[in-house]
Amino acid sequence: GLLAIFLLLLAIEPWLSRRSHRYTHLYLLVQVGILTVLSTMTTIEDFFAVPFMSLSLQAMHVFPPRIGFRWIGIFIIVTVILLVSIGITFHGMSWGASLPNVLIYATAYLLVGSFMTVIRQLEDAREESQALLTELQGAHEQLQAYTTQVEELAVAAERNRLARDLHDSVTQSVYGV
């Protein structure tokens, strides 16, 4: 049931994050709580650690990097506590025996978070490029309108010059005659 709730919340997260970042903070806290409770229900040492990767992606997607990496830090701390306590409680391991798993998951959370940061930067750059393209297309259309206007003015100026020349030369000829 808890895993179903976790997955349901995972599915509705985009809707929550559009409403307010406060909901996203609450959402992440609830998800951490669910994973903590789930970890106490199993003897599998790293059962709960993998879903933290999806939470890391979501935190970095919704929040600025500074806040997103703080959440990843929270995920790492919770993972360390849970891995060590499960290892000691169920497997009789020392806290140092869980260290390789801790390092693997901490690295994975940070890599996933960094990957999402790069994706966000690429999305921002694409949006900026699209805005610049739209602006450039508008400037191009305006330039074409100016070019058409300049051509029309040049034609009118040439007509006026020819009319003046014809008028002046005809007037001179008539006066001379």
Across 81-86, average pLDDT: 80
Residue 164 has pLDDT above 60, yes or no: yes
Q: What percent of the chain has pLDDT over 90?
A: 44
User: In angstroms, rounded to a whole number, what is the distance separating the alpha carbons of residues 107 and 73?
Assistant: 11
CB 88 within 8 A of CB 95: yes
Q: What is the pLDDT of residue 48?
A: 76
Q: What is the pLDDT of residue 119?
A: 92
At 40, the pLDDT band (50, 70, 90 cuts) reads: confident
Q: What is the pLDDT of residue 43?
A: 65
Averaged pLDDT score across all residues of the chain: 85
Beta strands in 49-104 (DSSP E): none
Across 41-69, average pLDDT: 84
What is the DSSP secondary-structure string of 72-87?
HHHHHHHHHHHHHHHH
- Candidates 47, 45, 35; CA nearest to 74 is 35
User: In angstroms, rounded to a whole number, what is the distance separating the alpha carbons of residues 29 and 35?
Assistant: 10
Q: What is the pLDDT of residue 36?
A: 86
CB 75 within 8 A of CB 112: no
Residue 93 has pLDDT above 70, yes or no: no
Across 142-149, average pLDDT: 93
Q: At what angle do helices 21-40 and 51-62 cross, to 10 degrees?
A: 170
